[in-house]
Amino acid sequence: MNEENQTSQSAVDTSASNADAAQSDIITQDIMKKIAIQNSQLLTVLKAMQGATQQQTKIAAAANVNLADISHNTTLEQQRKQNEEQANGNATYKNAAFDDGFWHGNNHNNK
């Protein structure tokens, strides 16, 4: 990435220098050459910027995938806990119903 920065900076410097030099030139073939060089340098800068943008897009896409995985795992964990709590509640109700039936049955037999 540092090499891209140096290339971009060199392109900007060359382009600025050529633009300054063209201000004092008479419209000649030299000016046309300098404009062509500027255009080439601008393309170099744009290419470096596009590469950096593509890299950031890839990083953002990977982050989005990771966030989706985390969200999915969190949802699964919440569902697991909810199911576990439901199962514990059901077991408590079953035990209470059994105990109630057991004691009512024993009291009924003792009469």
Instruction: Report pLDDT digits (tens) over 21-32.
Output: 777 767 788 888
Kindly list the averaged pLDDT for each block of 10 residues, start to end, along the chain of length 111: 78 82 76 89 90 92 95 94 91 79 60 50
pLDDT value, residue 20: 80
Instruction: Report pLDDT digits (tens) over 63-78.
Output: 999 999 999 999 999 9
Q: Which of 11, 10, 32 is nearest to 22 (CA)?
A: 32
CB of 52 within 8 A of CB of 4? yes
Number of H helices, E strands in the chain: 2, 0
